Structures are given as structure tokens and as C-alpha cells.
A and B are shown apart, each in its own frame.
Chain A
Amino acid sequence: MLSEGSSFMKGMALGGIFCLLLSLLGSFTPGMQSSPEDQHHHHHIKAPTNDELQSLSEPQMVELSQKVRVYCVIMVQPKVLVYWATAKDTWSKHCDQAVFYSSESAKALEAVDLNEQDEWTKLRKALKHAYDNSGDLRWFFVARPTTFAIIENLKYLILAKDPNEPFYIGHAMKSGELEYVEYESGIVLSYEALRRLVNVFKDEEKCPERGRALWKLSEEKQLAICLKYTGVFAENGEDTQGKGLFNSKSVSSLIEDGMSKNPLDVVEGCCSDLAITFSGMSPNQMQVMMFGVYRLRPYGHNFHDSLIFFPPEGSDND
């Protein structure tokens, strides 16, 4: 008996080491058997090129520009009131509608009280509320308290996309077989994707309100799973050169990385010219971003963009 038991244990140990060795060698990645083909299945969303835009007729352009209006879902916490105040005073002014969602109510905090502490449940409630109150807005952008978004660049990315098709866009990540959008760098949902999501919320089997897995999945992955059941898949937002538009770090943090990784071309290797989000920024840094994005520029360099976005009323930091 003992010798059989010890053989079993030896076998298990050897099996584990065998598996580890194989995956370390890299040529065998059990998680993605179809890894090379998988790359073709990765979904990427790019902004329309100039040629594409010019091939559209006038009425088509008009229709598109009227449809591309964004409802911003901004998650805040009363613990750090200053982030709510900063988002309200900075980038969220460029949303067509910006609504703040808080875990609990607090004085001076103008937000929808979700009365909930669990991150996934909060996200569900906020998205349901957004869907019910969207009016005629067709695109939804979900942000965390320290996210900074440039809504004009988001509109440019989704300009030629039909919100009656399901879209789930952001910085796409892969965990095992699951492709999901990173929460920290902002999540974009089209109206159709949100409609399907709200529908599947009712299904406690596929999309439970309280995570029931052995180990709790993060809310960004739960979202991906629920959406996957409805046939909606994560897509990576990038510019024409393939650079990601959604960033989970701040500009300074990315520049710092660039200075050590490619010191000969720090700025070029950093971030896209038409980046949509940065994250992990302090309130002061967000104010400075407003200056950097919307105001600071070199005189005499002009762009002939196909759309004009006016600055919002009643604001002077942009």
C-alpha cells in the first residue's frame, strides 16, 4: 500500500514538473492550442482612414455624426471625492452625457447611488441604469475614477461603426481562452451590445449577479463572460499603426517606461497621437492633461480633419 501511495505521489510530482517544463520551453502553450491561428481571431478595431471617410456621401456623414454620441458611465467612490470633482471639471465635459455612479451616497457627491459594494454588482447596476436612461445616445463608455478619456478620439474610432451592431472595445486582454477588455483603461459598448447584456443579466445561470465560481473572477472578466454568451467579443482599439488607443497607465508612467525600454525614441514608442484613455492619474495631472490635450500646441501645424467638435459650454480649461 505504502509503496503504491508513494509511487502515485512520485508520479504526480513528475507529471507536474513535466507539464511545467513543457510550458516553460514555450513551444507548447497548453492554454492556446491554436495560438498562431488565434492571432487571426483577435479582433482589432481601427479608426476610419481618410479615404474611407471621403468615400462616404454627405447624408451618410451627417447620419454618422449624429449617431456618434457617447453616454459616459463614470464609477466613483465617496471615499475619494476629489476624483469625482476632477472628472466633473475636466474630461467628462466632453461627453454628450456624463453620469456618475457611486457605491454609496454622500453629501456633495452628485451621483447615482448604487447602494452596493461588490464591484461586479455595481457594474451591472450602473450599466442597467445607463441602458434605461440613455435616451437617444447609442454609445457607452465606462470609466474608473482615475481614468482620463479624450472623447473626441473615441468618437473618431467608432465613427463608421453601427451602434446597432454589437461592439465591445477597449484594451483587449486574454486570460486562458477568455478575451476581455481591461476595466482600468476604459470599456466601450455599443447600444446593441448593451441591450444584449441587459438581457442576459436576467439569466442567473449564465450571468449570475453574485459570482459563484470557486475563485471569484474580476468584474471585467465576468463582463466578458456574460457578453460572450450573447455573441459579443472583445476587440482591441488601435490606431492606423497598430498602437493601442486605450492605456491603463498615465502619460508620465508610459514615458518613464519608454525612457528605459527605447531611449532613442521615447516619444514615438510611447503612445498614439490619437490616444483615447490614460489611467492612474492624480487630480492635478488631469487638469494638466486638459491643457496638454485641448490647448497646448505648436503654432502653424494644422490638420484637415473630417469632423469638427466644438468645445463645451461653460468651461475654460479646454
Chain B
Amino acid sequence: MKGLSGSRFCFYVGFVVGTLSLYLFLRQVWFERSMELPVLGGIQGSSVAAVAEEKQASDSDNWSVEGAALINLNHPHHTGEDSRVADELYQKVRILCWVMTGPSNLQTKARHVKATWSRHCNVVVFMSSVDDPDFPTVGLGTGEGRDQLYWKTIRAFHYALEHHGNDADWFLKADDDTFVVVDNLRWVLSNHTPEEPLYFGKRFKPYAKQGYMSGGAGYVLSKEALRRFVEGFKTKVCTHTTSVEDLALGQCLEKMGVLAMDSRDTLQRETFHPFVPEHHLTGKFSKSFWYWNYCYYPIVEGPQCCSDLAVSFHYVDAELMYTLEYWTYHLRAYGYRHRYRPPLPQGLVERLAQTERATVGTAGRGTIPAGIIVVGGGNQSKMEAVSYKGAPRGGKIPMDNNRTAVTQESQQ
């Protein structure tokens, strides 16, 4: 009797001790979590799902599918931003993007192009060897592989002119591992007219007198240039000479009197890039690398390799596609006044009476409209608060880069 109750008592004590000690242990070790998760895990999870759903629904409002082409009805932009200039350019500089791809690349590469930068084109067509009504892609009736590249290019451009000659002014060719910032391409093209025979891209010098444009970095033909390309094949001035697509195209265009243009920005920095950003910004090209002998313009290594308004990068894998889309269209530094502030294209100055603090002129001097607070850049050991008591009310105050300005007058 006594033994039984004693062991039962021990059992209960053991039970309590076991529970308590495990509770303490778990509390310290297991119940770590981010404060975001309980609040956000639910919210963020559902908001992302909601956004994805919204996106699919609105996708049909934003895109109309005509055959194999995706026609962009609304230029995408974010809440809180002033895209008047970009919208003007979207109307004025219409671009058809065609993406060179193939059946085996649709899910691994082309899909990510479709989800990212191609949404900013006026029209986008995915060119493959085989028709695919679901993606959708155009079947060019060729095979696949490097030796088919020029055939695909020839047929793709013919298709573009025949089916979409009136839907666009400029025709861009890109690979499914090229990332293009289409808004910046519009800026490059904005001071040119599509009625002239012109073509832009990353300019290489060998084998052609005026040079030719790198295929991987993407190149763009004006409507007149495209007409002449197609005409050249009709009249047999141009034929399928080699499978080296970019060189062959360049040679044909040269024969047809199309001009190879300089696509660099106003500080002579390249906009079309044949490699990924990391390679251009941080890599050192070995002196024996072919690149040195190919580039038409002098190679710049380091940060000045690339324009702020970069147009393209090549050898971009899926992850980098989304990363670049995030860097370009999403991530920014609040209030940051960029060093490079190029002037508006001529055609737009009249149409837009007033823009933001867009200064006319290069980085450095500029005018700040009233009511904006200016803070000095980092690493300035002295900050002078300058008051503009003598300044005209409601007017603009000329400023230079180095001074910290305090608010000007109040808005009237």
C-alpha cells in the first residue's frame, strides 16, 4: 500500500518536473521568431497573394493578345510617381521588342523576360522556331541552334514589318538573356526620327567599315532601316551569308545605306552592354581579351563604364532579371539628387510646360523650386545653414552643389 502510493506520488512529481523543464527549455530555444512574421506573415502572405491575383486580373486589362504579339495598352508605373515624361515618350517613341528564344528556353528564360522588362515595350513578340499559342511565340520555321541565328533574325524582322509595321516606330531585337531598360532606350531614340535609316546598339568595329552592333547586347532599327533591310532581301542585295547574326545584319544594313549610330549618353558613357553589370563595374578585362579589339569607342573600366541611363545588359540569368527590375523600377534612395541630370529631349520641352526639379544643364548647378528642403550630402564636416532673407518670395533660388541650403521662402 505504502509502496504503491509512494511511487504514484513520484510519478506525479516527475510529470510536473518534466513539463516544467521542457517548457523552460523550449521557451529559450524554440520560441524565437521575427516580430514581423506574426503580423506580416499573415498580412504579407495574403497581400502578396492579393497582388498576384490583382496582377493576373489587370494583366488582361493591360495586355491584348493579337496572334503572337502582346500589345501593351497601359504603360506600367507605380503610385506616388510622376511619370509624365515617361508617358510622353511612350506615346512618341513606340518600340516593338522581339525576343529571340526557342522551345527549350521558354520556361527557363523567356518566361522571366515576359515577367520583367518586356512589359515596358509598346509591343512584344517572342520569336521561336516553333509556334506556341499559349506562351505565345511565333514559329519562324527554322531549326534551333547557333547556326540558325541569322535565319531567325531575317525571318523575325520580316514578320515584324509585315504584321506590326504600323504599330511601332523602332524595332528592338534582344536575346532571352538580355535585360533592357526600355524607358532609357526611348530616351536614347527621342532626338532621332524613325523615318531616317538608323540603327543603335553596342558598337563593334571590326569587319565592317562603319562597325556593327553586338547581337547579345540588343540592337534597334528605325522603321526606315527595317524597310531597307527587308528591301535588301527582296532585291537580293542581302542574302544569308553567315550565321554570325550581328555581323551579317550589320553588313547588310551598311550595304543598304543604314547608319550605325553612337548610342552613348551625353557624357560619352555606354548604354548598351554586352556583359552583366558586375563585370562592367568591377571587372578588369584582361588585355588579351577580344573585347579590347572589338569596341568601337574607348573602353572605360569602373563606375564610368556605364551610363546611369543604361539600356541593356547581356548574359543575364533569371535571378538577375528580377534583381535588375527591382533596382531599376523599384529601389531608390529617397530624395536623392542624381549627379547625372541630362536635359529633356527637344521634342518634349515644349509639350511639358513644367517638370519636377529637372534642371536644364548638367549636374551641379541648378534651380530649386520654393518649398523644398535641401540637405547637404554625407561626409561634410561643416554644415552651413544659409538663409535667403534677401531672396525674392516664391521665386527660384540658384544653388550650387556644395552648400547646404535651408528652406527658402514659403509657398504663396
Contacts and interface: CB of A to CB of B under 8 A. Distances in A.
Interface of A: 3-20, 23, 29-32, 35, 38-39, 42, 44, 50, 58, 61-62, 65-66, 68-69, 93-98, 150-153, 155-156, 171-176, 179, 182, 215, 234, 236, 238, 241-244, 251-252, 255-256, 258-259, 262, 264-271, 273-275, 284-285, 287-288, 290-313, 316-318
Interface in B1-60: 3, 6-23, 26-28, 30-36, 38-40, 43-44, 47-49, 51-52, 55-56
Contacts of B9: 4
Nearest to B374: A308
A151 B187 CA distance: 29
B278 A284 contact: yes
A73 to B, nearest CB: 15
A13 B35 contact: no
Interface stretch (B84-92, B131-139, B154-162, B217-225): B84-92
A215 B330 CA distance: 43
The 3 closest A-B pairs by CB, nearest first: A11-B14, A15-B18, A300-B86
Given A256-B319, A258-B322, A298-B183, A15 B19 contact: yes
Given A173-B34, A300-B85, A310 B337 contact: yes
Interface of B: 3, 6-23, 26-28, 30-36, 38-40, 43-44, 47-49, 51-52, 55-56, 77-78, 80-89, 115-116, 120, 181-184, 186-187, 277-278, 281-282, 302-304, 306, 308-310, 318-320, 322-340, 355-358, 368, 372-381, 383, 385, 401-402, 406-407, 410
A252 B318 CA distance: 11
Contacts of B181: 296, 298
B319 A259 contact: yes
Contact of A66 (B43, B320, B383): B383
A15 B17 contact: yes
Given A11-B13, A179-B35, A308-B372, 13 more contacts: A7-B8, A7-B11, A12-B17, A15-B16, A96-B379, A252-B323, A288-B278, A288-B282, A295-B338, A296-B181, A301-B329, A312-B380, A313-B379
Contact of B183 (A44, A152, A300): A300
A312 B380 CA distance: 8
Main SS class of interface, B: helix
B354 to A, nearest CB: 12
Given A11-B13, A306-B373, A153 B334 contact: yes
Given A267-B322, A270-B326, A308-B337, A176 B27 contact: yes
5 contacts: A29-B31, A275-B331, A287-B278, A288-B277, A308-B335
